[in-house]
Chain A
């Protein structure tokens, strides 16, 4: 309970601040403090996280909107209870902003008694939301608070995203391999992992996880929200055939937060620690965060105490963001982030190493009718695997790396009320390299010893119109042109999104377009070939309906077609000039529902997803080998007919919270082998499966829970202890079944075991 009282200003100065409750507030010039209680005008629920701005008393009187006043200062955000205490003497004007609501400006009274000010925010109608003018059929947004607290995805934003409909169930082994090889793990509506693209504040990040997939390479604490577009992405997003994961960091999201004091959070679990701090630096605003693993620190503290051959895993990721206003409406921002993972084997040169780094600068200018941004960034990524087994005489070393220098500019011109034009250009100078060495140490016999590198350019120009022929219709036609010297050709991708607002509660939308993605460099090193292109046609349509306060249902159907899809492992250079056996076609269609709910009290909220879908693929082997029986349409390895997901978060009494995440999926297909043929020379079997991908693994179910207890240690300091348990029922799921060719039952690819994680956080 906040203690409020008033006193004369003179008296206030006589009372040492440390001797009273730190929330004590006095009058200044006869004006006492103001307690603002911010609520949703429809549900009556408190609105946490709303941004508070003030025009101070004594400033030039505001004639129009306070938002245009040069004296406007942002002073913080509402508490989880939707309150904000404005210290005496209050303000001339109070401005309350929250995404999804109309901005409210309130005159604050000057009284010698504490004023409790009720502020109600009216939710924007769907046609006024930012998403209304954004291309893409559905924007499934997850806020930073959700990412931090979702059960089973302990501050791992990618695990959280993989719970929404349209995303293929990630496998434990897939996450492991994807994290080691840096190949991504987001299979969206039939697209293969790697065909979707992920951006952090406009800069692409190549992969999601630290090894084993427990932690993400970007901390949830730095995220304002994640905007996941499963299909129909607009022309500003290219070189993809899947979806878009657009991550917006907190520091860059807000227009200016330079008045917010330094604050942050630190977390500790038994396997890692991380911390983030944000605050003003000069005229600007700075955010710094870092995460590191603990296992390798134990090793470094006592390197002699570990047995030879013991694996030691270590990782780190770090992020720096700084932005500063240059003039009204003009801003300069800089961002740098990176991550690395290492696994070493004690006493041997065996090493696995994966890393990427990004750094960028951008300049933004905004007027009432225009927005312009110019940006540049540099990226570096590398994967190294070195395996040495002296007893076996085998040495294997593989590496892959890339340098990428990017220049980009984009802008928006609000021509008139019904017409907005957007456009942009982007260019990249790229230098990829890959190599593989495999030899027998004893024989001094190099089987493979090749390194390829290349350099090239790719560029793009895109344009999009936002047309509003009536107040209830939005049309977003767009087109994109790309050219890539590695492909040695250009291509055009037309896109279109349309929205019709049927009343204030229902939105009908559809989107479609062509999408191209250059295949990975690894497929083109051999023999100086050109990169191929994966092509996709995406079509989707659906309805979003607000059934009532706190209940929104989105139902959507989609069909995607893919040509020249890379359907195999793409982490190593393909040194076989006939190695196109990994290329094929794909189809995917289905229906998704996504329901968001919250109770009238706002204490319980969550999402439920259901997907019915079919994903097929067809390998292109017959083109090269007409005698083979491959090449028929079958279910793909990512096909999962039904998927149910349920995420819930509940605020309990006494600052406790409970969360759960439940997921049920149809099992992935596998190829049953009717017989096995032994090859003595290879000491191995060839499985004979005449019905590829015809059977399915058992269904997958996982229940995760999370308990947390928070203690308020002061006006801004707090502590939280949490227990997150993944797979709380300890169900023995099979991520996949693999017919390995051994004449036994298919082998089970194990899934996430029962995995409790106890940790604590400190906020300040």
Chain B
């Protein structure tokens, strides 16, 4: 806790007003979603993952494992894993004797081009009478003009992006013993170009994607909404950049 606060303090002193996306230059696990986002002992959850590579059609092998320890730190070092599925989606049932307040931790091993990326997802175990945490809903998403499909543009092209929700984004909860509202954060990645949040808040859905100024190609862009309590949702788009900016 102390170290995190200290780190936060130091990070704050270096914050930039505008937020820009991180770059995907190798296979990366951007998100693992559990549906529901929190579960009661004995409940079955559906797991799916957003695993990306810089290229649109790279094959990725996904294998799911169950960790038998109740905390994410202990699971990171565990080697007594149980296989529970293969592929982009799987389902698993929480043990009936899982403790409320603990976490149900699953592993995901992603392999592509000989590289293995290991990731962990902690699903909070809730009491039956405790409100369910819902995954954020991104149903008001618009990439460019909203016609769908791959978006074509030129170098330095600027594409407006909107990632919004028709529902109340910030659920109320009292995880810490005090009533509070979620703070849903939008995290962004691209394999080329830049997703920019001009507000710098990480909470605004009004963004734009700026094409790279000096490179043609096909580039991906991903937005992951994270509620900070285990709930995630995402949207993605591929862009084709072809040629210089047309002269007026």
Measuring CB to CB, which residues of chain A are less than 8 angstroms from any residue of chain B?
311, 345, 350, 385, 387, 389, 391-394, 396, 398, 436, 438, 440, 442-443, 445-447, 568-569, 571-572, 574-576, 579, 627-629, 675-681, 683, 686, 688, 690
Contacts and interface: CB of A to CB of B under 8 A. Distances in A.
Contacts of A686: 72-73, 76, 120
A572 B1 CA distance: 10
A391 to B, nearest CB: 5
Contacts of A350: 13
- Interface size bracket, B side: 35 or more
A573 to B, nearest CB: 9
Nearest to B75: A677
Nearest to B31: A680
Contacts of B6: 569, 572
Contacts of B28: 678
B117 A678 contact: yes
A729 to B, nearest CB: 29
A628 B69 CA distance: 10
B3 interface: yes
B77 A629 contact: yes
B133 interface: no
Given A445-B180, A447-B176, A569-B2, A678 B15 contact: no
A627 B119 CA distance: 22
Given A680-B30, A683-B187, A688 B77 contact: yes
Contact of A443 (B5, B73, B170): B170
A396 B77 CA distance: 33
Contact of B15 (A385, A391, A446): A391
B74 interface: yes
B100 interface: no
A391 B69 CA distance: 38
Given A569-B2, A680-B31, 12 more contacts: A389-B15, A392-B12, A392-B201, A398-B5, A443-B180, A568-B2, A569-B6, A571-B2, A575-B1, A677-B119, A678-B117, A688-B76
B195 to A, nearest CB: 15
B86 interface: no
B26 to A, nearest CB: 10
B133 to A, nearest CB: 12
A685 B32 CA distance: 14
A440 B183 contact: yes
A98 B136 CA distance: 79
B125 interface: no
B118 A678 contact: yes
B17 interface: yes
Contacts of B38: none
Given A680-B30, A683-B187, A686-B120, A572 B17 contact: no
B112 to A, nearest CB: 14
B241 interface: no
Which 3 pairs show the lowest CB-CB distances between chains A and B? A686-B76, A678-B119, A391-B200
Given A391-B15, A574-B2, A679 B183 contact: no
A423 to B, nearest CB: 41
Given A678-B117, A680-B32, A688-B77, A572 B122 contact: no
Given A391-B201, A396-B12, A576-B1, A677 B183 contact: no
A640 B100 CA distance: 45
A681 B232 contact: yes
Contacts of B17: 391
B178 interface: yes
B15 A679 contact: no
18 contacts: A311-B13, A391-B15, A392-B12, A396-B12, A442-B201, A568-B2, A571-B2, A627-B69, A677-B118, A679-B72, A680-B32, A680-B119, A681-B32, A681-B226, A681-B230, A686-B76, A686-B120, A688-B76
Nearest to B107: A677
B155 interface: no
B15 A392 contact: yes
Contacts of B121: 679-681
Interface string B1-22: 1110110110011010100000
B181 interface: yes
Contacts of B203: 393, 442
B159 interface: no
B5 A438 contact: yes
A679 B120 contact: yes
Interface in B91-127: 117-122
A683 B119 CA distance: 10
A393 B201 contact: yes
Contacts of A387: 9, 12-13
A445 B120 contact: no
B110 to A, nearest CB: 9
B29 interface: yes
A463 to B, nearest CB: 40
Nearest to B28: A678
B22 to A, nearest CB: 9
Contacts of A679: 72, 119-122
A396 B5 contact: yes
B233 to A, nearest CB: 12
B67 to A, nearest CB: 10
A638 B8 CA distance: 25
Contacts of B74: 627-628
Contacts of B122: 679, 681
Contacts of B1: 574-576, 579
B29 A680 contact: yes
A579 B2 CA distance: 10
A572 B15 contact: no
Contacts of B230: 681
Interface in B194-210: 199-203
Contacts of A440: 183
Contacts of B118: 675-678
A647 B56 CA distance: 62
A394 B9 CA distance: 10
Contacts of B181: 443, 445
Contacts of B180: 443, 445, 447
Contacts of A628: 74
Nearest to A343: B13
Nearest to A181: B6
B176 to A, nearest CB: 7
Contacts of B202: 392
A108 to B, nearest CB: 65
Nearest to B26: A743
A394 B11 CA distance: 11
Contacts of A568: 2
A574 B3 CA distance: 11
Interface in B177-228: 178, 180-181, 183, 187, 199-203, 224, 226
A672 to B, nearest CB: 14
A405 to B, nearest CB: 30
B156 to A, nearest CB: 26
A686 B119 CA distance: 9
B53 to A, nearest CB: 15
Nearest to A740: B7
A445 B183 contact: yes
B15 A680 contact: no
Given A680-B30, A680-B119, A443 B183 contact: yes
A331 to B, nearest CB: 46
A345 B13 CA distance: 9
Given A387-B12, A440-B183, A627-B69, A678 B201 contact: no
Contacts of A442: 201, 203
A392 B12 CA distance: 8
Nearest to A679: B120
A688 B120 CA distance: 13
Contacts of A683: 187, 226
